[in-house]
Structure 1
Amino acid sequence: MSEILSQDEVDSLLDGLDSGEVEAAKDKGKPEKTDGIIAYDFTSQDKVVRARMPTFDVINERLSREVRATLSSLLQTNVDVSANPFDTLKFSEFVRSLPVPTSLHVFRMEPLRGHGLIVLESQLVYNLIDTFFGGEALGKARVEGREFTNIEEVMIKKAVVAVLKNIEASWAPIEPVKTTLIRSEMNPQFTAIVLPTDLVLVTRFEIELEQSAGNLVVCYPYSMIEPMRNKLSSGVQAEVEEIDTNWRKMIREVILESEIVLRIELGKTEITGERLIYMQKGDIIQLDNDACDPLICYVDGLVKLKGYAGVQRGFQAFQINEKIITDCEG
């Protein structure tokens, strides 16, 4: 509680200031003069992480292709995924930017230390589930104040586990990693993978369905990525065009399940129109090949097999004797 000084006390203080016996209080609002010198902390993460990491950009682009293939296969529809440039910010800023509720998933990425975070926006979750069950995914689902159902949680986990496999594939050319899902949350406050002041690398992937869109976010602590900084900061080397394994797998599955037409040719010959007109039951047409010659099998109009006709279990059959390989297949 403040007290009012008497005039004698005020005069005593003024005399003390003039004589130097009482030290005047410093103005805390003004910074001390340092002759233009500013303290620089070389150990601060914020100072060393701002440089470009082109190889990390390549990993994110590869991850966008992997996720596109995975979601297209899972939903049986066309899905477009694009990666935004990664951001570097404090973890507290990242958490404040997340909507509530949202689907958060903490994961480990061995042999790197620490934990990463996968974020699926609620609207994206509902759109993915709606599309999976045959809906139109118009992006009009109400997300406020609503928790995920058991069925939705199962579908979310299935999608997240698939994305973790995509992360492994995208990192494989740089550093083989093994991912493990640790836990899932809905409140960002329960996913403190690092201290609030620690830096994180955040990449947002825009996922576009036919009628709606949403964001998938992957967050790596800088402390996790730091051991790989030299590899990630180096210039992109002459990159051998890699085959997208997921697309290759999808194409292979489509080919293996496709129906094809086989046609066995007994032989051929040429006749006149007059002979064709006067043909009757019992007439014999002589073909151009010998009875002992193998027959030709056409696969969708292309010569692929040779063999002999026969009977098996009461049905006409064809026994393959030779497989014909063309120059482009050899």
Structure 2
Amino acid sequence: MSDVLSQNEIDDLLNALSAGEVDVAEIEEDTKEKKVKKYDFRRPDKFAKEQLRTLEIIHDNLARLINNFLSGYLRSVVEIDVLSTQSMVYSEFSNSISNPAILGIVNFSPLEGQIIVDISNDVAFSMVERLLGGMGKNPLLKEARALTEIEEVLIRNIIVKFINLMRESWANIIELKPKLENIETNSQFAQIVSPSESIALVTFNLRVGDTEGMINIAIPHYVIEPILPNLSSKLWFSGGTKREKTVIERQSLEERLERSKVPVKTIVGRSTISVSELLTLSVGDVVVLDNNAKSEFEIYVKDELKYFGKPGTHKNRMAVKVSRINEEGADNHG
């Protein structure tokens, strides 16, 4: 808002105009000057603001999932938050990476292309130390160094868990099947796109105990271009895609349950003998059971009596044929 002139200032301005000290044409020329908005063609804005906001919402959800996972996995106090979600060219991101780095190259299937998960050395070594029984103080980071084979395996397991959690955070947009392809320690070997390609960079701040560092997720524009129309707050909060998947997820869960294996055992009979008889048992001795040849056997599923059955054979193997269901067990457990 322009300043309001006082009466004295107005009088001075009129006097200056009358005396010719101020050119009216210059004033009119200034008012007609058009405002120009700067645009850097080297950094085209391929991501709309709403799309970046939706990406931030997705990764806020991912941060909560990672926080829950790391707290239990590391048995330590963990805090993780999304610091920023911004658009930039890939060269800016790669030039900001220090070597040696920890860069997870992730196949973002079913979308074409790869993304990068960049974990700062501070929190990476702190997590490794926690997993190896230390306090996470990270005393070895006075000088930057590459990961050992054991450390790389541990970090790989953590990154794999991170990208698996992405499936849940992206569920409202697309059913992802991400896969970790490789871990690079030099940014020059992690050229997943051309240097001028636009990316969305999501930056997390991660605190593990007293150690604090960054996690960056770089998502190239061309990778998520097919689903950009779905990156809207309206679609996210409507949860329509999520509801459509509920039936499929339930069917998948039922199929996995049906393939699950449970222990089943049959009690042929029981008997009670003294310790002296037990000590004198030998091959050929006969132990009399409380069941006769025509009695039903008890069939247990795990430790629960579920059925009764009759002995027999099936394809030259001993078997038990279910004769009836234990009604008490069915009433107690549905």
TM-score, normalised via structure 2 length: 0.57
CA distance in 2, matches of 1:46, 1:85: 19
Question: Matched residues, percent identical?
Answer: 24
Greater share of helix residues, 1 or 2?
A: 2
Distance 1:50 1:183, change over 3 A: same
CA distance in 2, matches of 1:44, 1:211: 40
CA distance in 1, matches of 2:233, 2:227: 10
In structure 2, what is the equivalent of residue 231 of structure 1? Answer: 230
CA distance in 2, matches of 1:45, 1:123: 31
CA distance in 2, matches of 1:190, 1:50: 30
In structure 2, what is the equivalent of residue 207 of structure 1? Answer: 206
Cα distance, 1:140 vs structure 2: 4.1
Cα distance per residue 1:30-71 (max 9 Å; x no partner) = xxxxxx9x9x99x98713324232322221111101111221
CA distance in 1, matches of 2:127, 2:208: 8
CA distance in 2, matches of 1:93, 1:50: 19
Aligned length: 219
Cα distance per residue 1:97-136 (max 9 Å; x no partner) = 1122111111111111111001111111111011222322
Q: How does 1:35-184 map to 2 (within 5 A)?
A: 46-53=44-51, 54-142=53-141, 144-184=143-183
Distance 1:322 1:145, change over 3 A: closer
Cα distance, 1:173 vs structure 2: 2.0
Paired letter, 1:192: Q
Distance 1:111 1:143, change over 3 A: farther
Is the 1:55–1:231 Cα contact (8 Å) retained in structure 2?
A: no
CA distance in 2, matches of 1:44, 1:109: 26
In structure 2, what is the equivalent of residue 216 of structure 1? Answer: 215
TM-score, normalised via structure 1 length: 0.58
Cα distance, 1:162 vs structure 2: 0.5
Aligned-residue RMSD, C-alpha: 3.4
Is the 2:123–2:207 Cα contact (8 Å) retained in structure 1?
A: no
Paired letter, 2:137: L
Is the 2:129–2:138 Cα contact (8 Å) retained in structure 1?
A: no
Q: How does 1:274-313 map to 2 (within 5 A)?
A: none
Is the 2:82–2:203 Cα contact (8 Å) retained in structure 1?
A: yes
Is the 1:139–1:211 Cα contact (8 Å) retained in structure 2?
A: no
Distance 1:48 1:148, change over 3 A: closer
Is the 1:100–1:186 Cα contact (8 Å) retained in structure 2?
A: yes
Paired letter, 1:237: F
Q: How does 1:258-269 map to 2 (within 5 A)?
A: none
Cα distance, 1:145 vs structure 2: 4.5
Distance 1:171 1:143, change over 3 A: farther
SS at match of 1:202: strand
Is the 2:42–2:196 Cα contact (8 Å) retained in structure 1?
A: no
